[in-house]
Copies of this chain bind each other. A is one copy, B any other.
Amino acid sequence: MRVPKVLVDFFKREDKFLILTHVNPEPDALGSAIALSIALERLNKKTWLFNRDEVPEIYKFLPGYEKIRNSLPSYVEDFNLVLLDCNNLKRAGIEHKLGFKSSAVIDHHETEDGFGDIRWIVPDAAATGLLIFYLIKELGLNIDNDIALNLYSAIAIDTGTFRYNNTNPEVMRVSAELIESGVEPSYVANCLYNMWSRNRFSLLIMSLNTLELRDGIAFTHVTIEMLRKTNTKPPDTENFANFPRMMGDVKVSVFLRQDGEDRWKVSLRSKDEVNVAYIASEFNGGGHKNAAGFFINGDLDTVKNLIYEKILSKFTIGFNTKA
Whether the pair B197, A247 counts as a contact (CB closer than 8 A) is yes
Spot the interface stretch: A25-33, A135-143, A156-164, A221-229.
A156-164
Return A159 CB to nearest CB of chain B, in Å.
8
Contact with B along A192-222 (1 / 0, CB 8 A): 0111111001001100110101000000000
Say yes or no: is A180 at the interface (Cβ < 8 Å to chain B): yes
Contact with B along A179-190 (1 / 0, CB 8 A): 110001111011
Whether the pair A189, B213 counts as a contact (CB closer than 8 A) is no
Q: State which of B186, B204, B323 has its C-beta within 8 Å of the C-beta of A163.
A: B186
Oligomeric state, in copies: 2
Q: State which of B172, B177, B190, B201 has its C-beta within 8 Å of the C-beta of A272.
A: B190
Whether the pair A246, B177 counts as a contact (CB closer than 8 A) is no
For A189, the closest partner residue in chain B by CB is: B163
Size of the chain A interface, CB-CB below 8 angstroms: 45
Contacts of A196 in B (CB 8 A): 246-248
Say yes or no: is A145 at the interface (Cβ < 8 Å to chain B): no
Given A172-B175, A246-B194, A185-B211 contact (CB < 8 Å):
no
Contacts of A208 in B (CB 8 A): 204-205, 208
Given A173-B176, A184-B165, A205-B209 contact (CB < 8 Å):
yes
Contacts of A162 in B (CB 8 A): 161-162, 175, 185, 189
Say yes or no: is A168 at the interface (Cβ < 8 Å to chain B): yes
Contacts of A293 in B (CB 8 A): none
Say yes or no: is A245 at the interface (Cβ < 8 Å to chain B): yes
Return A18 CB to nearest CB of chain B, in Å.
34
For A164, the closest partner residue in chain B by CB is: B186
Whether the pair B173, A186 counts as a contact (CB closer than 8 A) is no
For A191, the closest partner residue in chain B by CB is: B248
Q: How far is the CA of A160 from the CA of B186 in the complex (A)?
A: 10
Return A280 CB to nearest CB of chain B, in Å.
19
Whether the pair A246, B193 counts as a contact (CB closer than 8 A) is yes
Whether the pair B186, A176 counts as a contact (CB closer than 8 A) is no
Contacts of A248 in B (CB 8 A): 194-197
Q: How far is the CA of A168 from the CA of B211 in the complex (A)?
A: 38
Return A178 CB to nearest CB of chain B, in Å.
9
Whether the pair B185, A165 counts as a contact (CB closer than 8 A) is yes
Say yes or no: is A263 at the interface (Cβ < 8 Å to chain B): no
For A199, the closest partner residue in chain B by CB is: B323
Given A175-B172, A176-B173, A198-B323 contact (CB < 8 Å):
yes
Sorted from nearest, which 6 A-B pairs have the closest CB atoms?
A: A163-B189, A172-B176, A165-B186, A169-B176, A167-B185, A195-B248
